[in-house]
């Protein structure tokens, strides 16, 4: 996926690709290997080239407020082909989307069936990881094209759980 992202008003070209459990990205053409796992809604554990940190991402009007340690950034996704404004002021993905497990865990509930119509941010699965239950939500409004996970199944981070069209 290619995006133009503004961070504190400065534009950057970002390319993202998931390779197994790793996130491969380049920022302004410079390659970067990273692991990123959503540990709770809006909270990411990120490991980049030997260093690790926690990032909090919260909606802030039509943008995002990103907090890392004691530093705060304002971010905006500026690629209208990959994102569009959703009804809640947030961004909603477009096109066919794969829903992936953000962390290793166990599927304890499947909240939808193949063929169901879903809204953006609607719960699709509940995954238990580290004795906490996390709801996996739809990235867009659409139809559940395929379910690739069942209740009781153990999943790995990055594993595709469903396809939303």
Residues 106 and 133 in one domain: yes
Measured CA to CA, the distance from residue 30 to residue 13 in angstroms comes to 10
Residue 39: CB atoms within 10 Å: 15
Q: How many domains does the chain have?
A: 2
Mean pLDDT, the chain, as a whole number? 82
Measured CA to CA, the distance from residue 80 to residue 94 in angstroms comes to 9
The band of 134, judged by pLDDT with boundaries at 50, 70 and 90, is confident
Residues 6 and 60 in one domain: yes
Instruction: Tell the residue number behind the tokens 């940190």, with chain if given.
Output: 53
Residue 143, token pair as written in the block: 């139809």
CA distances from 119 to 17, 58, 76, 112 (A): 25, 20, 23, 11
Summarised one tens digit per residue, pLDDT across range 94-116 is 678 899 888 889 999 999 999 99
Residue 89, token pair as written in the block: 């002021």
Last residue of a domain, one of 42, 63, 83: 83
Last residue of a domain, one of 83, 117, 139: 83
Domain of 156, in residue numbers: 95-164
Measured CA to CA, the distance from residue 122 to residue 72 in angstroms comes to 28
Measured CA to CA, the distance from residue 156 to residue 164 in angstroms comes to 19
Residue 66, token pair as written in the block: 């990103």
Could you tell me if residue 89 is inside a domain? Answer: no
Residue 165, token pair as written in the block: 């069209």
Pairwise pLDDT comparison (22 vs 5), residue with the higher score: 5
pTM summary value: 0.47
Summarised one tens digit per residue, pLDDT across range 61-90 is 778 889 988 999 888 876 544 444 443 445
3-state secondary structure of 156: coil
């Amino acid at each position: 996926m290619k995006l133009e992202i503004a961070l504190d008003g400065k534009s950057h070209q970002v390319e993202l690709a998931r390779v197994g459990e790793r996130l491969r990205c380049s920022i302004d053409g410079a390659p970067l290997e990273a692991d990123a796992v959503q540990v709770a809604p809006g909270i990411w554990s990120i490991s980049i080239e030997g260093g690790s940190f926690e990032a909090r991402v919260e909606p802030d009007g039509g943008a995002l407020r990103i907090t890392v340690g004691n530093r705060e950034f304002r971010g905006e996704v500026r690629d209208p082909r990959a994102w569009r404004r959703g009804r809640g002021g947030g961004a909603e993905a477009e096109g066919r989307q794969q829903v992936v497990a953000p962390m290793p865990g166990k599927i304890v509930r499947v909240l939808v069936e193949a063929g169901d119509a879903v809204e953006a941010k609607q719960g699709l699965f509940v995954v238990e990881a580290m004795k906490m239950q996390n709801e996996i939500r739809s990235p867009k409004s659409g139809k559940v094209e395929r379910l690739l996970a069942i209740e009781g199944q153990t999943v790995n981070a990055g594993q595709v759980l469903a396809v939303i069209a």
